[in-house]
Amino acid sequence: FFFFFSEGIEQKTKKIWLSLLVNLKPGAEQKVVFITARVHPGETPSSFVCQGIIDFLVSQHPVAKVLRDHLVFKIAPMLNPDGVYLGNYRYGFGDLKRHGFQTSPLKCLEFYIDIHAHSTMMNGFMYGNIFEEEERFQRQAIFPKLLCQNAEDFSFSSTSFNRDAVKAGTGRRFLGGLLDDTSYCYTLEVSFYSYIVGGATSTVPYTEEACILLKSSLPLPLRYT
């Protein structure tokens, strides 16, 4: 397989780097999984989550090999490098949240996962979209259910699906309205603090190592796609 970085959109001071993982056979259908992190610079745990995902995907784990053979992974570990470098959530009125981009066709995009960190809730959980078609909505719930079975810190009970107007500008909502009904878009949240396993009452802190280790479970449900 190939693993390399290519330069993407240049912002004010830094460039957005894109990781590409692919091992498809010639002529194979290119189903794309697009993963982003750190659109909010202060959400440092999302970087460790993203690192755990990348570490797993480039490993020799049998599931990782299957995923590389059947899917193309495009990963932007730091979507807002200016904010991270300068230490600000926003550096001006033309940043990622307030600047309109020209859209281009996104062919064969199967999954979009935008990684964030949450300041009040515990565990890992997801936000998904609500659709008029019941079948599409039910299909969308399968991935977080499978993730809950593979990661002890992930909570399906905290996962929710919405279309609130206040979230209309998020990547999940925007791409969910742009792509066709075979694509799935999620926001993955991980607590800044800790998680609770099963019916336990004590909490387990999210250390850097815990984020990296536990979120290596994220790609596992993709083997069912």
Q: Which of 43, 110, 135, 189 is catalytic?
A: 189
Give strand pairing partners of 75: 19, 35
Give strand pairing partners of 129: 162
Instruction: Classify burial at 121, counting beta carbons within 10 Å of its beta carbon; exposed 0-12, middle 13-18, buried 19 or more.
Output: middle
Query: If DSSP codes are grouped into helix, strand and coil, which group holds residue 41?
Result: coil
| Catalytic annotation present for 110 | no
Give the side-chain half-sphere CA count within 13 A for 3: 9
Phi/psi at 24 (nearest 5 deg)? -75, 150
Query: If DSSP codes are grouped into helix, strand and coil, which group holds residue 51?
Result: helix
Handedness of CA 162, 138, 212, 19 (dihedral sign): negative
Amino acid at 28: A
Tokens 């792509």 correspond to 179
d(CA 173, CA 183): 12
Give strand pairing partners of 15: 10
Give strand pairing partners of 193: none
Residue 58 CB partners (closer than 8 Å, separation 6+)? 1, 3, 21, 64
Catalytic residue numbers read 189
